Amino acid sequence: MIRLKRVYDAPDPATDGVRFLVERLWPRGIRKDALQLDGWLKDVAPSTELRQWFHHEPDKWEEFQRRYSAELETRPEAMSPIRKALQKGTVTFLYSSHDAEHNNAVALKTYLMRTH
């Protein structure tokens, strides 16, 4: 099971499972030693160019998902820690976006559910 959670929300050891930050940039306002996570997977995050193009604009969502999926296809090895963790149980993707419906963690989950 894949769960999604903002980095600013409190961790829940009972339900979070393995926690991965799936952002290319470290979230603002959070010290690196304060965020409880099992890994920072920069390589599964969208490229800087794609992230800047999307700019969290919902009207670009469908095209963002298509382009992001194409990027993910070129780096299957980056998904390895996620796939291994999923074999053992729950994985939580941590993201920093204010928009809970249109962000790379949602797109990554959709991609993995389709290809897993």
Q: What is the pTM of this model?
A: 0.93
Residues in the chain predicted with pLDDT less than 50, given as ranges, are none
pLDDT for 105 equals: 97
pLDDT for 35 equals: 93
pLDDT for 92 equals: 98
pLDDT for 56 equals: 87
| SS3 track for the chain | CEEEEECCCCCCCCCCCEEEECCCCCCCCCCCCCCCCCEECHHHCCCHHHHHHHCCCHHHHHHHHHHHHHHHHCCHHHHHHHHHHHHHCCEEEEECCCCCCCCHHHHHHHHHHHHC
